[in-house]
Structures are given as C-alpha cells and as structure tokens.
Structure 1
Amino acid sequence: MGLLLHDYQTTVKSRATLTGIGVHSGKTVTVHFLPADADTGIVFHLSNGGETRELRALVAEVGATDLCTMLGDPAGAHIGTVEHLMATVFGLGIDNVVIEIDGSEVPILDGSAMAFVEAFDQAGIETLAVKRRYIRVVKPVRVEAGASWAEFRPYDGTRFEVEIDFESPAIGRQQFASDINPDIFRRDIGRARTFGFMKDVERLWAAGYALGSSLENSLVIGDDNRVINVGGLRYPNEFARH
C-alpha cells in the first residue's frame, strides 16, 4: 500500500505577509511567512531594532505562559502570543515555515486564527518529498495543575475533547469535541476569538498587558455578565473552541 499525501511533510508555496498590533504591547508588527526545506520545523527570525535572532517553536523554548505563550527569554529576545499562529500551523498541517517578525509579539489581528488561515491558503501549501515523523500515544498520560487537567490517550487519528467551566453565566460549562483536519480547523475552530472580562481591564493595563485589546480583536464579557460585542458570538460555544 502506497504512502498517503498526509504522510509527507509540507511547507508554504510562496511568501505571505500580515501586519497588525500586539494584543498586549499595542505596538504594530509585521510578520512574513516563507517556504522552508523539509525538517526545518517552525522557526522564527526576530528582528527588533538589532541583529536577527532565531527562535524555534519547541516546548524547550517556551519562556512564559502568563496570559500568552512566549518563546524565548522574557527578559531578553522573545516572541509572545504565538498561540493562534501555532494553532493554525498545526491545524492546517504545515510542518516547515520560516517566520520573519519585526516585533516581540505576534499580531492579534481579529482575535482569532482566521487571518493566518487565509494567509496560508493564499500562499498555498506544498507537499515535500520527505516523510513526516510522528509521536504515537500508546498509553494515557495525564497532567494536573490545580483543578485543571489534560490527558493524552491512544487514538487512531487526532482528536481534541475540551471542557471549560467558568463562574460567569456568559460562559458557564462548555464542551467542544472533534477530530482535527485542515477543513475542520477552517470551519469549526479558526474563527473562535480570544476573550476576557471588562472587570479585569484596568488590572491588566496596570500590569502592562492588553494594551492593544479592543472589541475589534477580543470577545468581551461586560460587568452585567453579557457579551458586549455588537456581533455577538461566532459559535454558540465559541469560548470552548478558543
């Protein structure tokens, strides 16, 4: 039986560019996505007023996870708020890409992954002549942190089952469960936005966070425990999908 296309590594076919503001820094940043050879992985080239620094998207490079996922050294060269971009790379099955960025935070855009999806779709995705390598889960592995937990289980494919529980009646207990492939990611996950509470805004601003946050890029729950965005929710369970 021959190998299937999804057994091979991929990259983008051509260059793509996005510009926006960082949700925490409030600063304008431009990011370019470039084709990369097989086995390159996801590599950031950070050019922020000095020499270019390379940061690889590996768990060993995660320097902080407070209100965003950050690669690198929080006190030195780093790139923050990589989660929507990394979710898109995974969701669309992109194995190799060089990401040039001229600031220390990936732009938030509309608060979801869709602008990244559209940029990659416009650039095109190319299949390379080198096979992928996989990690296969052969027994359950569980990680706990306070009342939260995550568990990897054996499965023939890739599936996420997510449940969240917030005291706010605007969110409450929500679930989302689905196999994941590029079409499902585009349709069922990519448009879900980051969210927050109006009551937390002043505290976040004082701590130097959310300086670029607005109703244009965040789903906001007001003091009356209702979503205050004019368009409302994009999915009934948008919070869980995010």
Structure 2
Amino acid sequence: MRQTRVYDPYFLQSRQAPIHINCSISLSTNVIDFNQIVKEAFAEDVPFGIVGLHPCGDLGPALLRLYQECHNIKFITIVGCCYMKLTSESEMTSNAYGYPLSQFSLENKFHLSYNAREVACHALESYIERLKRNEHWQLKIHCYRAALEYLIVQHFPEYHHSGLANVKYESKMSFSEYCSKAVKHVHINLSEKEINSDVIKAFLDEWKAVLAFYTVRLLFAPLIESTILLDRYLYLHEN
C-alpha cells in the first residue's frame, strides 16, 4: 500500500494558495506597469523572483530586462531555448530586440544569422549517442527535413522558416509520409508530383552527405549558444 504522508500542522495552517497573474511580457513591457500588476495581485509590495523554464525567443531577454530594471525582483533563473526566434538589431526598427543585449556586443557589431541561432538550439549529446550506436538510419530524418524545406522555398516561400510538426523517423517511412505529418499544422499542400520529382529523389539519395554536413554543423552549436549566453551575462554585468 502507498504510505500516507503526514504534514506538520504548522505548515498546513501557514500555507498560502498560489496567486495567478495573467499578463503578456515582451521587450516593450514597462517595468513600472509590471511591478504594479504584481503589487495588486499580492496586495502589497513584495520581493519576488523570476523562473523561466521555456522562455522562447525574446521572452528570455525580456525577463532579463525586467530583472535588471525592477528592484523587487531578487533573483532570476531562466533556461534559454528557441534562439532562432530571437529578434536582432538588423531585423528591428526599434531599440528593443533579443540579440545582442550587451553594449559590448553592440559596439563590436556582433551578429548571428537565423541559421546560426537555429543551430544553437540543438543538443549534441543525443545525436552523438545515436552515432555511437550506429543508428544512422534514424538520422535520415534530417535529409527529409532539408528536402521538404527546398519544396517549401520553391512552392510556398511565405512559409519559409515556419514551425513544422516534429516527426520521429520510423523504419521504412517514405518521404511522402514524412511530408504529410510535418505540414499537418500549416497550410501547405504538396502534390505527389512535387514530392516524387527527380530533383527530390536525387536529394534523398544523398542522405549520407546531408548527415555528414549536419554532424559538422552541430559542432558549432555549443559555441553559438555560449555566445548568446555570454552576451546575456555581459548585459547583466554592465548594468
């Protein structure tokens, strides 16, 4: 039988229910307005911390800016992700963007392309383990994704860099099956003629070359992610 937990009555009496705040946070969020929202929710001016477990794109930098500007925020813990969704200085007309954050990076004109930021999102460890176990066939999915991106650029350029569904490669999965699963959430309708064209067949025959290229590409992932994280560290250090 499952053992019943016994709690100290003191903690049961003093325990407070969670307070939920529903608000949108962006790089343009005003720190005074944000602090007022928190103050009204807790009915007092309380110190607090920020924990971001999936601060996608610009949300990470937005939280860092709030931490830097709001004296009531005493600590911050964020786990960066989705770096390709960061806005950059070259993409924005305003002074608010996700990368770079630090004055040092700005003065030295540091720039990371979309492709570079996308690479930084990938974990090397699981990929290496698959290579060690000789599970190369599972990595054929990267060739499928590259071929699909080619089709999207050729026939649906407005969906270039769109988020597609994650598809786990299964033994004997055809490229047509992969495409059907990958684009199910976006308005892309590829014909069998496009999917089975001679150009695509030639691409798919080169899947081992794509795998080799992808492997070399991933070697840069830790370096690029470190560049982004060091920029955030410098931003906090400067302020």
TM-score range, shorter chain: under 0.3
Larger fraction in helix: 2
The structure showing larger relative contact order (alpha-carbon pairs under 8 Å, at least 6 residues apart) is 1
Give the TM-score normalised by structure 2.
0.23
Larger fraction in strand: 1
